[in-house]
Amino acid sequence: MDVVPGNTTLWRWQNAPTLNRQEQTGNAPAQNLRGEHQFLLILGIDCSGMVWVRFAKVAGTTVEIFDDYVRTILNTLAPPPAPQRTFMWDNLTAHNCARVYNRVVAAGHRVLRRPAYRPVDGPIEYVFNQLQCQLTNRIGEVTDDVSFSTLVHDIITKLNGFDATFVHCGYT
């Protein structure tokens, strides 16, 4: 089975430079009431080593953001009769939107919704763990939004071994 899981995470840190409203992007403020700056990362992988990334300074995943992300992935995949893919994600509200589900199915692929609180079933969870560990080890390199974005990009581009992660989770 060829699996393309998707997941989201939100990183925050304090004491980052404050941006005014005109510089913020997205559907939600990128700064919370405590002055922490928030970044959204949506990451998808497949066992062949493909990575799809959406990284933005927004506070949360909306249906619109996730739908656009999935559309981007679908546009990079070969049309039928290419192999059918299985998109796997957790129970985040934006993931369970009928519009996103119907888009994937209409493109000839499947959707597998992981049960809540079962990260062991999701290969992407192991990738996020690697990313978070490397980010924690290198957080001293972060001085502003640009250096944070650069660090995340650098870490993601060096991630590999996805096939072993899928096998570890029981997908062959």
Report the pLDDT value the prediction gives residue 117, as an integer from 0 to 100.
67
For the chain, the domain total comes to 1
Average pLDDT, the chain: 77
> For the chain, first and last CA: distance in Å?
6
The model scores a pTM over 0.85: no
Runs of H (alpha helix) within 57-109: 63-76, 98-106
Is the confidence at residue 130, as pLDDT, over 70? yes
Q: Give the SS3 label for residue 44.
A: strand
Is the confidence at residue 128, as pLDDT, over 70? yes
Domain of residue 74, CATH code:
3.30.420.10
- CA dihedral 141→143→149→155, nearest 10 degrees, is 10
- Domain containing 136 equals 3-168
Burial of 37 (0-12, 13-18, 19+ CB in 10 A): buried
Contact 5, 104 (CB under 8 A): no
Q: What is the pLDDT of residues 58-97, one digit of tens each?
A: 878 899 999 999 999 999 988 778 888 889 888 888 888 9
Report the pLDDT value the prediction gives residue 65, as an integer from 0 to 100.
93
Report the pLDDT value the prediction gives residue 8, as an integer from 0 to 100.
42
| Residues in contact with 126: Cβ distance below 8 Å, sequence separation at least 6, in sequence order | 165, 168, 169
Q: What is the pLDDT of residues 141-159, one digit of tens each?
A: 998 889 999 999 999 999 8
State yes or no: cis peptide before 83, omega within 30 of 0. no
Report the range out of 17-26, 40-49, 73-82, 128-137 with the highest average pLDDT.
Answer: 128-137
Count of CB atoms within 10 A of residue 63's CB?
16
